[in-house]
């Protein structure tokens, strides 16, 4: 079961709408959906909310440490509340997925993501859940830093918002620890639109009579 949901991002208004803050957007949307407020918590170096889950309390966390120090917020909180790594879900932006895509996975490498790297380091393990929100790739490795710290285009932001909306449908399953069901919901492809029905043809006209009825 999930006991701690972490959204990754950077604090401050200058970063609020940037791609790197997609994890913050997801947690804000979840908090709104569940009717809880994210409040500043200096002890745990972040914004924090507590909610009643089906198996006990669940914490929502947005580290306010900047991305590359995310683990200094996540790990102490997890130790304080005795939350095992496998009960942690980290929501973050993902370069290797297109905007509009979201993928749920357990474990694996950080793939260059500085927030994940620091959480790995501070927890001492990679064995936690991740929800990856696609932001696309700039195409050049040297452009990655500038890319993630810029706002997405309006079309990409719309696609990201739709991915967040779709993945939030799995929130009850995530909170219940029903990860297979959550995965199926998050990875579900939208149904293809049905092709339009062909226009019905008018019935054939009756042949014109050449007989004179008089």
CATH number of the domain encompassing residue 46: 3.40.50.1470
Across the range 134-142, mean pLDDT stands at 95
Q: Supply the range of the domain harboring residue 167.
A: 4-187
DSSP code of residue 190:
P
Of 82, 98, 99, 113, residue with least CA distance to 156: 99
Whole-angstrom Cα distance, residue 64 to residue 181?
31
Q: Is residue 213 part of a domain?
A: no
Model confidence at 199: pLDDT above 70? no
Output the pLDDT for position 212.
37
Is 196 among the domain residues?
no
Q: Is residue 69 part of a domain?
A: yes
20 is catalytic: yes
Looking at the structure of the chain, the number of domains it has is 1
In a domain, 28, yes or no: yes
How confident is residue 43, by pLDDT bands cut at 50, 70 and 90?
very high
Alpha carbon distance 188, 209 (integer Å): 61
Q: What is the mean pLDDT of residues 118-122?
A: 97
| Average pLDDT over all residues of the chain | 91
pLDDT value at residue 111: 86
pLDDT band, very low/low/confident/very high, at 29 (cuts 50, 70, 90): very high
Among 2-16, 51-65, 102-116, 192-206, where is mean pLDDT lowest?
192-206
Q: What pLDDT score was predicted for residue 210?
A: 45
pLDDT at 15: 97
Instruction: Give a yes or no: residue 65 inside a domain.
Output: yes
Beta-strand relationship, 129-134 and 102-106: antiparallel
- Is residue 198 one of the residues assigned to a domain? no
Give domain status of residue 176, yes or no: yes
Q: Evaluate whether residue 197 is within a structural domain.
A: no
The model's pTM is: 0.87
**Ordered DSSP codes for the chain:** ---EEEE----STTTTTSGGGHHHHHHHHHHHHHT---EEETTTTEEEEEEEETTEEEEEEEE-S-GGGTHHHHHHHHHHTT--GGGEEEEEEETTS-TT-EEEEES---TT-HHHHHHHHHHT---SEEEEEE----SSGGGHHHHHTSPPPHHHHHHHHHHHHHHHTTHHHHHHT-HHHHHHHHHPPPPPPPPPPPPPPPPPPPPPP-----
Q: What is the pLDDT of residue 177?
A: 92
């Amino acid at each position: 079961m999930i006991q701690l949901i972490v959204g990754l991002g950077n604090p401050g208004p200058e970063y609020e709408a940037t791609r790197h803050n997609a994890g913050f957007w997801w947690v804000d949307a979840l908090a709104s959906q569940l009717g809880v407020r994210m409040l500043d918590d200096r002890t745990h170096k972040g914004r924090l909310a507590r909610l009643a889950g089906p198996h006990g309390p669940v914490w929502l966390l947005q580290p306010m440490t900047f991305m590359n120090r995310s683990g200094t917020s996540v790990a102490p909180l997890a130790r304080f509340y005795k939350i095992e790594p496998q009960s942690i879900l980290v929501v973050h932006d993902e370069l290797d997925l297109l905007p509009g895509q979201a993928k749920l996975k357990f474990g694996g490498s950080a793939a260059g993501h500085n927030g994940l790297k620091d959480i790995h380091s501070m927890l001492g393990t990679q064995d936690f859940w991740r929800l990856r929100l696609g932001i696309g790739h700039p195409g050049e490795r040297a452009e990655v830093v500038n890319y993630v710290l810029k706002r997405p285009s309006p079309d990409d932001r719309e696609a990201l918002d739709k991915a967040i909306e779709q993945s939030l449908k799995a929130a009850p399953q995530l909170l219940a620890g029903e990860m297979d069901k959550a995965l199926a919901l998050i990875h579900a492809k939208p149904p293809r639109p049905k092709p339009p029905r062909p226009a019905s043809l008018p019935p054939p006209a009756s042949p014109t009579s050449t007989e004179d009825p008089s």
